Structure 1
């Protein structure tokens, strides 16, 4: 087998935050805050970021209520919890990214839903999440 190179397999990126999933199961806001401060969040994207540009995180998909005009940010503890009806692309975003996004869009986003289709949905205001991330 001389001269034969083995293909090196990159470890698969897991699009989940187990601590967030556990916190949502118990509906414990303190545990949700801890999970958000110390782990990633799965975010649906309308457009994926450019692979060659680390500054391009893509375009986040948000939901606008057609009757009220309210804008909601949908976040997931696991990509498997994202409904099929949402755009197929997701990103795994850091706590710093989430804090910056909420700070930049806190006037426009009226609510944030976690795992909206289950198994353990929860909702919070952007201000509550910013306070949790800043704690």
Structure 2
């Protein structure tokens, strides 16, 4: 006799990575980086994760402020495995549209954007350069 319980289907775990971005950073090919940013997600560290029941709550993005200059940097990752353990543990997988909107909103405050800052293949760009790559 059936127990009335539905068997839960095993879902593949969500992968917090953009393989195309990882590959583009490895070769430092700026055209490939731009393509990967336009067509795939970016791993974003969070101070506070969003509410699971609210799809509009993306959480609070973690940024780095240099204590000596006050400059604000946005750290992004091609793979959650590249995020240093010293950063807050929560991450979000954000779309190209989200990245474009976030950078547009905070372009005056953010002085630089780092990709995979701790390696294996870091890249630094200005918010304006990232916006231009997303718009290309």
Match of 1:11 in 2: 12
Match of 1:87 in 2: 88
Structure-2 separation of matches of 1:7 and 1:73 = 38
Structure-2 separation of matches of 1:105 and 1:19 = 26
Structure-2 separation of matches of 1:30 and 1:7 = 42
Structure 2 gap ranges (5+): none
Query: Scaled by the length of structure 1, what TM-score is found?
Result: 0.96
| Aligned positions, number | 134
Match of 1:25 in 2: 26
Match of 1:123 in 2: 124
How far 1:3 sits from its partner (Å)? 2.1
Write the mapping of 1:54-133 to structure 2, written as runs, cut at 5 A. Answer: 54-133=55-134
Give the RMSD, CA atoms, in angstroms: 0.9
How far 1:101 sits from its partner (Å)? 0.2
Query: Scaled by the length of structure 2, what TM-score is found?
Result: 0.96
How far 1:41 sits from its partner (Å)? 0.2
How far 1:43 sits from its partner (Å)? 0.2
How far 1:54 sits from its partner (Å)? 1.0
